[in-house]
Every structure is written in structure tokens, then in C-alpha cells.
A and B are shown apart, each in its own frame.
Chain A
């Protein structure tokens, strides 16, 4: 079993805001991340797949094709967008990176041709903050 990681990036606006709470409660919990007019980040997405190298190509999966797939299925929807407003798979969800990485998994995982398996998604929001998700509950 070998693990292959492809790195892509997107720039997006968002805010952390629970519509069921008052503005005061949102400010208390989310601080400046709740700014009603949004803020934004340069996000980096690390997509790690796992599998055995194909005996004829030596590839788990063509890394260029993986890049194309990530761009087509995920980056196109996220890049230069407002995550709270513009992204279909984040509708009705709180726009934390925890929820975003799980949303990206649901978009990407069904697109990988068997026997390629998605192993891990790492989503970097700032130089100091990132999340990892390995699928499942």
C-alpha cells in the first residue's frame, strides 16, 4: 500500500455564524470570525489517496488526473467564492473548516475510480490552523 498526496488551493470568503443565535452570542462564541461582512483565507487542500501501484503504469492513480478531478469537482465550486452563500454542499451548514473538510470528502470520495481509496483530506486555513479528516463518523 502506497499513499499519494496532491496539493491544491483556493481563495474564499466565509464567516462563522450560527443563524439561530443573536449577534451578541455569535460575537461571544466566534469573535472576529463572526464579522457579518465576511473575511477570507488562502486555503490549501491536501488530498491523500492510497492503493497499490498498477503493474503497467507504476501509478496508484495518475497524479495529474487526480489534480484535474479535484479541480473539477471541488476547487471550481470553492475558489473565489463565498463559502456561506455560493457553495451548494455547504448550504445550511456552519462554515467551519471541520464541516468544510467533511463536505469536500463527500464530494470527492465517490469520484475516485476503484480500487483507488481516499485516505485523508488535510485542509489548511492559516499557517497555524489546519484540520485532517479520514472519513467516517
Chain B
């Protein structure tokens, strides 16, 4: 059994969103989501931390080439969400409330097929410097 190491890559994207449930009226949405439900959207600087756990390769010493990981995150996540309206511009949140919780799960699902099976993947997403989520736990 080799020694497992975690590697991390930080990326960021800036997006607009609003939180609301289409099955509820405006009053109920404001009651549950407060100012996050305001109709003209607001936005965040999202900070994304991608964590990969595995044993360093004997030949390269890498768990995974961080440049390749960076390119992968940019291609699969950043290009999809950066300077977009999560509610209006993305297929992922057409029918899914873009809470930090739902966004972090979506990001995991988008990346998982592109990371080799023997490595573990965990995502941390900062919506603000004070609010952040992790998946899986």
C-alpha cells in the first residue's frame, strides 16, 4: 500500500443567479430565500477548490499533472459558468435551484468522469469568503 497524497487546484468564476422555487409564489420564495430570491438576480465570485487523492505515480511522482487538472477544470467548469447567469444560461440549472449545495454536486458530476477511477475527488466551493460547501462528504 503506497502513501496517498491529496493535491488541490484553485479556480474561480463570476456568475449571476437567484434562488427560487418555481412551484411557489413570490411571497413564499421571499419568505424562504429572502433577498436571494430578488427577481433581477445578484452574483458572486465563486472560488472552486478541486481536491484529488491518490498515490503518486512511480515514474512521474505526480498524483495528477496539475496543469492537466487546471485545463480540465477550465474546460469543463469555468467555460460553462464564468460570466454567465446560472439560472438562464446553463442547462444544468434550468430546473435545479442554483444553491451552493446544488452547484457543488453538479461540478463533481461534471468532473468525475474525467478523473481516473482509482483516485478520489472532492470539491469545495466558496460562494462568498464566509459561505462554502463541500461534496462528497
Contacts and interface: CB of A to CB of B under 8 A. Distances in A.
A79 B129 CA distance: 15
B128 interface: yes
Interface string A98-137: 0000000000000000000000000000110000000000
Interface residues of A, number: 22
Contacts of B112: none
Interface in B109-132: 128-129
Contacts of B41: 13, 38, 40, 82
B44 A32 contact: no
A80 to B, nearest CB: 4
Contacts of A73: none
B84 interface: yes
Q: Is the contact region of chain A dominated by helix, strand, or loop, or is it mixed? A: strand
Given A13-B16, A80-B35, A39 B40 contact: no
A80 B14 contact: no
A63 interface: no
B38 interface: yes
A40 B40 contact: no
A32 B84 CA distance: 8
A41 interface: yes
Contacts of A40: 14-17, 41-44
Contacts of A42: 44-45, 128-129
Contacts of A9: 128
- Chain B interface residue bracket vs A: 20 to 34
B19 to A, nearest CB: 10
Given A80-B36, A127-B12, A32 B82 contact: yes
A50 interface: no
Contact of B45 (A80, A81, A126): A126
B83 interface: yes
A11 interface: yes
Across the A-B interface, give the 4 residue pairs with the lowest CB-CB distance, nearest first.
Answer: A40-B43, A82-B40, A37-B85, A32-B83
Interface of A: 9, 11-14, 32-33, 35, 37-42, 79-82, 85-86, 126-127
21 contacts: A11-B128, A13-B43, A32-B83, A35-B83, A37-B84, A37-B88, A37-B89, A38-B16, A39-B16, A40-B16, A40-B17, A40-B41, A41-B44, A41-B45, A42-B44, A42-B45, A42-B128, A79-B42, A82-B40, A126-B45, A127-B12
Given A40-B15, A86-B40, A127-B12, 6 more contacts: A13-B40, A35-B89, A38-B16, A41-B45, A126-B14, A127-B45
